[in-house]
Amino acid sequence: MKVGGIAERHRGGQQGGQGVLAPRGIQLRATMAKEVASSRRCIYLDNNGTSPIYREVAEEMQPFLFDHFGNPSSSHAYGRVPKQALDLARERVANLLGAKASQVYFTGSGTESNNWAIRGALEYGSQKRPKRSDFLPHVVTSNIEHPAVAEALAKYKREGLCDYTEVAVDTKSGVLSVEAVEAAFRTGETVLCTVMHSNNEIGSLQPIAEIAKIAHAHGALMHTDGAQSVGKVDVDVEALGVDLCTVVGHKFGASKGVAALYCSLDSREFPSLLHGGGQENGMRPGTENVLLISGIGKASEIALLEGKEIRRNMLKTRNLLRGRLVEALGSHGIDYRINGPAEEANSLPNTLSISIPAVQAQEILADLSESVAASAGGARP
C-alpha cells in the first residue's frame, strides 16, 4: 500500500511538475520507481527488521502533516488538536501494555528508550544505595541482547559507570535459565536487570515475570526490551512485574522514528537522558512528533483490538512456510536445523530461524535478495 503510493506520485510528477525538480530529484524519483517495481516481485519476510505501515495508521497520521501542524505545548487553537492527539496516543499505548497513561513516555527510537532505561536505572539505583566511594552499580543481562542494550552497557562499563554480567541462554532454545540469572546477581550491588522480552533472530520468549521477581528480591529494577514482542504477543507490564519496558512503533505497523518507554517509577526520581524543556512531564524534553506519535497510538489500538487474529495469521503463515521449507530441504537431502524453542508458546508467532550446516546465511540471502527479503538477524530498532 505504501509502495503503491510512491509509484503513483512518481507518475504524476512526470506528467505535471517534473520541470520544477532539480536533476538529482528526477534521478531519485526514477530510482524509486525502479525499486518499487522490483520490490513488487519480492516476497517480504523481514518484519522483525521493520513492518509495513498499516493503512489505518497512515490515515490517522495524515491530518498532522498539513492541517494540525501546531505545537502540542502551545495554549492557542493550533496546539489543541495536536495535544488531544498526543493524549489519545499515550492512552492507546498504555492500554496495550496494561499501564497508566502517565507511565508512557514517547521517544524517537527503541535505541533511545533502551539507553534511557539503562542510564536512568544506573543513576537511580546508585542514589538508592548506601553512599560508598567505591560503589559500582552492577547490571545483569543476557548474551543475546540487541546492540541497543549490549553496546550501551559496554560503553558505560568502559567509562567506569557500571559493571555487568552476561548470562548465556540455552544454545538450542535460546531461553535463559532462571537459576542462572539469579546466580548472577550481586547482593547490595546489582541495581538493574535488563533482558529482552523476545529475541529478534530466533523468536525465543524469555521468562521475564520470573526474572522480575528475582530482580525485585535483590532490590534491583527490571527492564525488558519489548521491541519485537509488543503488537505480536501479549505484553502486560503489570503481569510481568517490570519497571521499564521499551516499545518500538515500526515493529508493529507504525512508522520508523517513534518509540516509547514505559516507566512505573516516580517521574520526580527517575533521571532523564536528555535535558531541556518540560515535555513528556519533564522526563523527555523536545517537541513531540505528533505525526509519528499519532501513528504508534493507532497501531497500538489495532494490536489491542485485533491482536488474537493477528497472532493466528502470523502463526499460520509461519507454520506454512516452515512446512514447505522442511519438505523442500528434505527432498533434496539437505541437512538443516530449526533454531529456537520447540514449543510454540515460547516463541514469537511470526519468527522462523533455520540453519544449514556449512552454509553462510549471507550467501543464501544475497542470492535470493531480488526474490525474497529476509535477514540473518533483526535490524536495530
Q: Using one digit for the tens of pLDDT, what is the confidence trace for 85-142?
A: 999 999 999 999 999 999 999 999 999 999 999 999 999 998 877 677 778 999 999 9
CA atoms within 13 Å, Cβ hemisphere of 341: 18
Q: Which amino acid is it at 271?
A: P
Residue % of the chain over a pLDDT of 70: 88
What's the maximum distance between 2 C-alpha atoms anywhere in the chain?
Answer: 72
State the CB neighbour count (10 A cutoff) for residue 163. Answer: 15
Closest by CA position to 280, among listed 72, 66, 35, 38: 72
User: Which residues touch 282 (CB under 8 Å, ≥6 apart)?
Assistant: 267, 272
Place of cell 493524549: 87
Q: Is 120 left (phi over 0), alpha (psi -120 to 50) or beta?
A: alpha
pTM: 0.86
Residues 357-381 have pLDDT tens digits of 888 888 888 888 888 889 886 444 4
Torsion 277-279-285-288 (CA) sign = negative
Q: How far apart are CA 264 and CA 363, in angstroms?
A: 45
**pLDDT band for position 328 (cuts 50, 70, 90):** very high
C-alpha cell at position 64: 498532522
Q: Which amino acid is it at 128?
A: K
Q: Which amino acid is it at 42?
A: C
**pLDDT band for position 30 (cuts 50, 70, 90):** low
Residue range 63-70: mean pLDDT, rounded: 94
Query: What per-residue confidence (pLDDT) applies to 20?
Result: 40
Q: Where are the alpha helices (DSSP H) in 106-174?
A: 110-128, 147-158
